Structure 1
């Protein structure tokens, strides 16, 4: 359950700073703003041995998504489901709502070195949805047509560069402590070519996120939902480069890329 510390250096940092300046979102998880009680009803605290370790996102009454590294014992072998639980229906990570046990964990078969960093958690009992417990909406599938004899171009499913997105988590804040109340943050997406130039991470399976320096995800925020203005789930947070709040982009798994796998294993 380690948090990666990937050190980067080089002239590409200046490019990232310039791109970030084009869409500098306000707010942050690292020293962020309190979320309202029913503002992020899909957010859950993933608990290992009864302690918060990561975030998870509700996608149905019985299943949640989280980052694979949060539940990996070794590679694609998960930790014992009996050691896990999720708190739902509360913005207080220590109280309120309910804690539900985990029946099983499925890690994406291609997970490794923080690529394909996605896992499905199945609960021992289904959730009862309320205004404080609800599922995030998965992206709608787009019929993609490759360029062929018709001359039609392939439809892009990537979010445009600078798209506003939102994250909520219980990760570390600016003074190094862990907040009891759910924190929310505004981000902007960084398209694959820009992310490749800025951090060498322009993978189709990833969604890169920009924020102002000294802002961003931190330890305990992995597995959180990345939601757009239409409240559609666009990503699940994975890791940050270097220290929390560095000038480099934060990285999430791009949900659209994994729709087939999620739907094949959804209940």
Structure 2
């Protein structure tokens, strides 16, 4: 119990305040985190193209036993977000996993890249490990804070003002297969692909046959091309669906699943960050939100990395 405020108690309290003063000053000098969603440009997705170095500085490689396993996105210096299914059967084995940040080419990550161990993984509580499921999202706690640089920066989450109408142009990025069964060749340069948002009702109808009624849930987004040929694929799971609003990149979705890789009438399916924003905010301190309410400009407008009833994870 604290001493009574009087006599010696007051002197004790005064001493404690003096001891706390240096710590308070140190905290005041702690630099603010960099602005999210703002690459500081240095100057395979199926059907994609090479990205530029440091073009997507929040995209990370989640590795299992030293090999690329899934992609993810950096939210803060201690947290990344990815797909929950990436940890199926290994949720309680974080020592098997590490996160590679700041790598443009997996085969040549460079001296500015950082590899950090995984402390623990927090999947969404309603995610089901059986087959395709809603809430296919997991937060990855890093063993220690990473050092930000032009190659390692956080991405923003969309605030409540952001809505993505059909035909909005967004982008995906990842190091997954370039075709079904064909891995990304060395030096494994990060791939990018522009994809348009597809109306959810249309997406539900497209997946009605084969996947079944109701497989597209309210927290899923669909994006891609009706003709196929360009899409996300195996190894892209957990990577970002990114949309630019007012010059800032927002993490709109997480690559979750699809039927085959780049097949006709089978667009990519993503987990919406807007649907799980409050859950992320409850766990991750310091995650940054952006949107129209911050004067960022007009609504995002028209524009997957490939992945199977066969509903194959990406």
TM-score range, shorter chain: 0.7 to 0.9
Q: Is the 8 A contact 1:65 1:121 kept in 2?
A: yes
**TM-score, scaled relative to structure 2:** 0.68
Q: How many residues align?
A: 222
Q: Is the 8 A contact 2:241 2:255 kept in 1?
A: yes
Q: CA deviation at 1:103?
A: 0.6
1:171 to 159, 170, 176: 176
1:92 is aligned to 2:105: yes
1:245 to 262, 266, 269: 262
Q: Is the 8 A contact 2:73 2:82 kept in 1?
A: yes
1:227 corresponds in structure 2 to: 242
Which has the greater radius of gyration?
2
1:159 corresponds in structure 2 to: 164
Q: Is the 8 A contact 2:86 2:238 kept in 1?
A: yes
Q: CA deviation at 1:124?
A: 0.6
Superposition misfits of 4+ residues, deviation over 3 angstroms: none
Please give the alpha-carbon distance, in whole angstroms, between the structure 2 residues aligned to 1:73 and 1:107.
Answer: 12
1:259 corresponds in structure 2 to: 277
The CA RMSD measured in Å over matched residues stands at 1.6
Q: Is the 8 A contact 1:159 1:191 kept in 2?
A: no
Greater relative contact order (Cα < 8 A, sep 6+):
1
Q: CA deviation at 1:238?
A: 0.4
Where structure 2 has 5 or more consecutive residues not aligned to the other structure, the ranges are 1-43, 209-214, 286-314
Please give the alpha-carbon distance, in whole angstroms, between the structure 2 residues aligned to 1:190 and 1:31.
Answer: 18
**Cα 1:56–1:68, aligned 2, differ >3 Å: closer, same or farther?**
same
Please give the alpha-carbon distance, in whole angstroms, between the structure 2 residues aligned to 1:159 and 1:32.
Answer: 22
Aligned pairs for 1:96-245 within 5 A: 96=110, 97-112=113-128, 113-114=131-132, 115-142=134-161, 158-174=163-179, 176-179=182-185, 180-200=188-208, 201-211=215-225, 212-230=227-245, 231-241=249-259, 243-245=260-262
